[in-house]
Chains A and B, each alone.
Chain A
Amino acid sequence: MDTCIEKIRAIGADLLAKGEVEIIIGFSDGSIPMAARPVAVSSRDDMEKLVFNSTCGLNLANYVSKNSLSGKGAKIAVVAKGCDARNLVTHMVENQISRDQIYIIGVPCTGMVDKRKIASMFEDEITKFAEEGDTLIIESALKKLTVKKTDVLRHNCQVCTHPNPPVFDVMAAEPVAEQTLDQPFADVDNIAAMDPEARWAYFQELTQNCIRCYACRNACPLCYCPTCFVDESSPQWVGKGQNQTDVTTFHFLRAFHCAGRCTDCGACVEACPMGINVREFTRKLNKDALELFGWEAGLDLEKRPPLDVYSPDDPNDFIK
C-alpha cells in the first residue's frame, strides 16, 4: 500500500493546484504507532502528512457530513476505501451532500488490522509499526514480532465483499480482487442458533462494560442527526447512566437507526474504548436487509434504501 500513497499525494497536489477542491480529507500518522488519524489538508505543503496503511480504520465519510465546509458548498476530496466510498454514496442518497461536491480518491483496500488483537500479543506498549506488503513488523521495548497481516485482520475486513470503492472519481491503484463468501453472516447465525435466554444473556454480557461515551455513535458516518435521541430530554427516551436497561436500549436504538444503511465499516468497533463488538447488532440488520430486501448499502446512487420506499413485494408476513 506504500506505493499508492505517492499517487494519492500527487492527485491531491494536482487537485489543490487546479483549485478543483478546497480541502482533502485523508489519514495521517497519529502520535503513537497504529493510530492513524483523520487529517484535512488544504495546502500543498501539508501533502506529506497524508498516509495510507493498514491502521486507517476510521471512516472518513464521517468528516464530510459533520464538516462545516460541506454546508457551505465547498468542494471536498476524500481519500476513500471501499467502505468510506459506500458511506459517501449513502450520504448522497440521503441528500446530505451532492455528488458534484465530492471528489472521491478511491483506494482499493486490503483490509485494516485489529489493533486490540495486535496489542494483546505484547505485554508492553508498542513503539513501532511497519508494513511490507502482507507482512507487519511490530516492535515494543521487549520484543519484535513479524506477523502476517491476514492473521490480524479486523473481522469486518475478513468478511468484506466490497474492498474497492463502487463510486469514485479517480483510483489511486489497481482494484484488488473481491471475495465472495458462502456464509457471509456466520457470526450472526451462531447467535441465532442459541435459545432466546442465551441470546439475551449474550447481549447483556456484550454491553455490560459500556461506559456510554458514545464514541461508536460519533465515529459512525450514519449518525449525523443534529440532536441524537440519547441527548433528548423531553421526552427522555433513554437514561444517561449505566443502568443495564438503558445501555441495552441505547445499543438497540443506535443499531436500529443504521438499519439498511450500515456498510459494516467497523469504525464503531474501532472507536470503542472498552473493546465492545457493537457490530453484533448491526450485523443482524445487514443480514436482514440483504435477505429480505436484497440490499447492501452504498453501492448505487440511483436506488432508494429499502426502508425509504414502499414496494408491493415488501415482506409483510409479520402483519396480521
Chain B
Amino acid sequence: MMGNLLEHMGVDRDRIHFSWISSAEATKFVDVVKEISDKVRALGPNKKFVKDYNK
C-alpha cells in the first residue's frame, strides 16, 4: 500500500522494491541486485522527496 501511495503521488514504481531472499540464496540475491540496479539506472537520479538543505 505504501508503494501504491508513492506511485499515486507520482514517484516511479521502480524506485521502491521489496523482496524475500533466504540466507542460503546468494544467487537470488545477486540476481535481484542486478535487476534493481538496471531498473534504477534506467530511471536516473531521483529528484522527488529529496530535501535540499541549501534552500
**A and B touching (Cβ–Cβ under 8 A):** yes
**Chain A residues packing against B (C-beta within 8 Å):** 188, 191-192, 196-203, 239, 243, 245-246, 248-249, 252, 255-256, 259-260, 281, 284-285, 288-289, 292, 307, 318-320
By beta carbon, the residue of chain B nearest A194 is: B10
* Chain A residues with CB below 8 A from B50, complex form: 245
Within 8 A of A (CB), among B9-24: 9-12, 17-20
**Chain B residues packing against A (C-beta within 8 Å):** 1-12, 17-20, 32, 35, 48-52, 55
* Chain B residues with CB below 8 A from A288, complex form: 1, 4-5
Return the contact of B1 from the options A203, A243, A259 (Cβ within 8 A).
A259
By beta carbon, the residue of chain B nearest A198 is: B10
* Chain B residues with CB below 8 A from A246, complex form: 51
Return the contact of A318 from the options B3, B5, B10 (Cβ within 8 A).
B3
Whether the Cβ atoms of A199 and B9 lie closer than 8 Å is yes
Q: Do A245 and B49 contact each other (CB < 8 Å), given the known contacts A200-B11, A201-B10, A320-B32?
A: yes
Return the contact of A256 from the options B5, B35, B51 (Cβ within 8 A).
B5
Q: How far is the CB of B12 from chain A (nearest CB, A)?
A: 6
Complex: A281 Cα to B5 Cα, angstroms: 8
Whether the Cβ atoms of A200 and B5 lie closer than 8 Å is no
By beta carbon, the residue of chain A nearest B17 is: A320
* Chain B residues with CB below 8 A from A284, complex form: 4-5, 8
Return the contact of A248 from the options B2, B3, B4, B49 (Cβ within 8 A).
B49
Q: How far is the CB of B20 from chain A (nearest CB, A)?
A: 5
Which of B1, B32, B51 has the largest count of A CB atoms less than 10 A from its CB? Answer: B1
Whether the Cβ atoms of B11 and A196 lie closer than 8 Å is yes
Nearest 5 pairs of A and B residues by beta carbon? A200-B10, A199-B10, A320-B19, A245-B51, A196-B10
Whether the Cβ atoms of B8 and A249 lie closer than 8 Å is no
Whether the Cβ atoms of A245 and B1 lie closer than 8 Å is no
Complex: A203 Cα to B50 Cα, angstroms: 15
By beta carbon, the residue of chain B nearest A188 is: B8
* Chain B residues with CB below 8 A from A255, complex form: 5
Which of B4, B18, B55 has the largest count of A CB atoms less than 10 A from its CB? Answer: B4
Given A201-B10, A292-B1, 17 further pairs, Cβ under 8 A: A188-B8, A245-B50, A245-B51, A246-B51, A248-B9, A252-B6, A256-B5, A259-B1, A259-B2, A281-B5, A281-B9, A284-B4, A284-B8, A288-B1, A288-B5, A318-B3, A319-B19
What are 26 of the A-B contact pairs (CB < 8 Å)? A188-B8, A192-B8, A196-B7, A196-B10, A197-B10, A198-B10, A200-B10, A202-B10, A203-B9, A243-B51, A245-B51, A248-B49, A249-B49, A252-B5, A252-B9, A255-B5, A256-B1, A259-B2, A259-B5, A281-B9, A284-B8, A285-B1, A285-B5, A289-B1, A318-B18, A319-B19
Whether the Cβ atoms of B20 and A320 lie closer than 8 Å is yes
Q: How far is the CB of A218 from chain B (nearest CB, A)?
A: 22
Complex: A197 Cα to B9 Cα, angstroms: 9
Complex: A231 Cα to B48 Cα, angstroms: 23
* Chain A residues with CB below 8 A from B11, complex form: 196, 200
* Chain B residues with CB below 8 A from A307, complex form: 1
By beta carbon, the residue of chain B nearest A282 is: B5
